[in-house]
Amino acid sequence: MKHTLLLITLMSITNCKAQDFKVMTYNVRLDIASDGENAWTHRKDFLSSQVLFFGPDILGVQEARPNQMADLKEALKDYKVIGLGRDGDNEGEHSSIFYNTKKFKVEKENTFWLSETPKIVSKGWDAAYPRIYTYGLFTDLKTSKKIWVFNTHLDHVGAQAQLNGIKQIQQKIKEVNTKNYPVILMGDFNVEPNSLLIKNLSESMLNTQTVAKLTFGPNGTFNGFKFNEPVTRKIDYIFISKSNHLIVNKQAVLSDSNDLKYPSDHFPVFVEFTLE
């Protein structure tokens, strides 16, 4: 009996020291009527059910317009969300972060614009559109361990906006992460793995695809709704700080479809972590 109690106690201590959790980054494709049969109204239920099935504890979305945010909030009932739209308040596309309220709570949060004037609605450098990033400090409810999570959607045109935008995010990470907590940076970066941006970012952070113990799915993440063509263009990523406290167990690019149609023109990237 004593041995049994000791074993249970040791198991409890071990479980308190480490916690598994799941993260997903997902460009959900904006709601636009010209998408026709791929418009949001035709795919929102499948996309929501896909998210619910894989059950990420933290979900970063990109391109979500206010009505899409409302639909996602309705479907993801156990989640809360942080973040503003890129046109201010709830307006425009969101790069917001949903989180499982049964797993995490938020200590701090903010949204900034990727520009020379980050605190106001603005377009930076050679960007085609205003771009934003949202971040939060999340506390694990079971272990009280903390992680920073950053989510962004870099410009699809401006090379300087891309490079300067990611530098701005890295500067913000240094500014807020004074206690050296693990950091997750995810989103649609709109650049491929051989780009200067990814090369530079990889000097200070780790690409989860390269350090995961197990990977699955296609290399590409942008499908363009072209179901019968190979998906080779990778522009969606999850990066982490170089910390021994965040273990990447698995990464997958999820290529689920329904009736020969994808739920978005991007595949989500899905990672399972252990927070030690």
This prediction has a pTM of 0.94
Q: Is position 8 within any domain? A: no
Largest Cα span, the chain:
70
Q: In this structure, what CATH number is given to the domain that contains residue 231?
A: 3.60.10.10
Q: Reduced to 3 states, what is the DSSP secondary structure of residue 146? A: strand
User: Can you list the residues of the chain whose pLDDT is less than 50?
Assistant: 2, 4-15
Question: What per-residue string of b and e applies to 100-120 under the rule 16 or more CB within 10 Å gives b?
Answer: beebbebeebbbbbbbeebee
Q: Is position 6 within any domain? A: no
Q: Is position 3 within any domain? A: no
- The pLDDT tens digits of the residues spanning 207-249 come to 999 999 999 999 999 999 999 999 999 999 999 999 779 999 9
Tracing tokens 């997750």 back to the chain, one arrives at: 184
Q: Is position 261 within any domain? A: yes
Q: Is position 24 within any domain? A: yes
Backbone angles phi, psi at 52, to 5 degrees: -65, -35
Q: Is position 191 within any domain? A: yes
Distance CA 160, CA 68 (A): 30
Q: Is position 72 within any domain? A: yes
Helices 159-176 and 196-204: angle between axes, nearest 10 degrees: 10
Q: What is the pLDDT of residue 16?
A: 55
Domain of residue 254, residue span: 16-275
Q: Is position 23 within any domain? A: yes
DSSP per-residue letters across 68-135: HHHHHHHH-TTEEEE--BTTSTT-S-B--EEEETTTEEEEEEEEEESSSSTTSS---TT-SS--EEEE
Q: Quote the number of domains for the chain.
A: 1
